[in-house]
Amino acid sequence: MAELNMLQAINESLHFEMARDERVVVLGEDVGHVGGVFRATEGLYEKFGEQRVTDMPLAEGVIAGSAVGLAMAGLVPVIEMQFLGFSLQAMHQIGGQIARLRNRYQGRFSSSITIRSPFGGGVRTPELHSDSLEALFANIPGLKVVLPATAADAKGLLASAIRDPDPVLFLEPLRGYRGIKDEVPDGEYLVPLGKARVAREGTDVVIIAWSHQVSLACRSADRLAKEGASVQVLDLRSLVPLDLEAIGDAVRACGRVVVTQEAPTTAGFAAEVIATINEECFYSLEAPVERVTGYDVPYPVGLLEDIYVPDEARITAAVRKVLAA
């Protein structure tokens, strides 16, 4: 078992899946000769050739639309949106075509399409490069939304996404590409979609998080442990499908809950998690649920990024507030 960063794990998974299934094709901006703007697709063009790894024009709608035709012809496209904010230029294809294909044709066609895209803040990128739009896509029926928080999960969840018969939006945290590193199983490795992971055990309060916020939540849990608090961290891994059983188990075990996300407050997925808790296990709560989020403003310039993106200090403060309630 090798120690890899998240980017290396994604690259390894793509190599494995393309070697396993000749129907898997990769397309996107700079994914071929360059190997991807972050090098996630490095080596694929040289190994599998131009028929399976295709550089596309700077037109996200064309990339997504091409994937629809390829999927209907029996191929398994893995497309890269260079940054999630750019996918707004392809919403008519993602929401209007990719997510609806199986339902529209009553199962005659499905769209086994994986849409990979980096997202999230903390790296001082320009406008539209850091936006956390996961709730927008989670609100599109027919589309799965998966967000790994570890390198091992990045490899295993991506393989499961590529093998899924329906479309999956696979969101990769920009800060995690080279900042998250852990042991990754060699060879074939699958992590099932829709199964949350307990990243830290605890019984006093649970922090529910996804993507890079999981790392911050774990640091907060470790810090609070020195103060005598037992803090569980639940990594959702996917928003669609959502692991209701894991959420219920965590809430019933701890009674106090903090939900954290990078996205703005209003209509973010944290609100969906809290609504689910109220519906499924309200009477297990010992205090109101607290949420930590970005703010209801456009994503700021780099100078203000540290104020906008939830950090360990804000999560820790929320946990202390819930524990004191």
Q: What is the DSSP letter of 298?
A: P
Q: Taking Cα atoms as reference points, which of 90, 106, 190 lies closest to residue 140?
A: 90
Q: Taking Cα atoms as reference points, which of 97, 26, 90 lies closest to residue 59?
A: 90
User: Can you say whether residue 260 is alpha, beta or left, with left for phi > 0 and alpha for psi between -120 and 50 degrees?
Assistant: beta
Beta bridge partners of 27: 54, 79
Q: How far apart are CA 80 and CA 281, in angstroms?
A: 38
DSSP line for 187-251: SS----TT--EEEE--SSEEEEE-TTHHHHHHHHHHHHHTTT--EEEEE-SEEES--HHHHHHHH
Catalytic residue among 15, 92, 129, 212: 129
Q: In the sheet where 290-292 sits, what is the strand order?
A: 197-200, 231-235, 205-209, 257-260, 290-292
φ, ψ for residue 179, nearest 5 deg: -90, -20
Q: Taking Cα atoms as reference points, which of 255, 259, 258, 257 lies closest to residue 286?
A: 255
Beta bridge partners of 119: 173
**Alpha-carbon distance values, 233 to 47, 162, 209 (Å):** 40, 27, 7
Q: How far apart are CA 117 and CA 172, in angstroms?
A: 6
User: Can you say whether residue 66 is alpha, beta or left, with left for phi > 0 and alpha for psi between -120 and 50 degrees?
Assistant: alpha
Q: Report the relative pairing of strands 181-184 and 2-5 from DSSP bridges.
A: antiparallel
Q: Among this protein's residues, is 212 annotated catalytic?
A: no
Catalytic residues, by residue number, are: 129
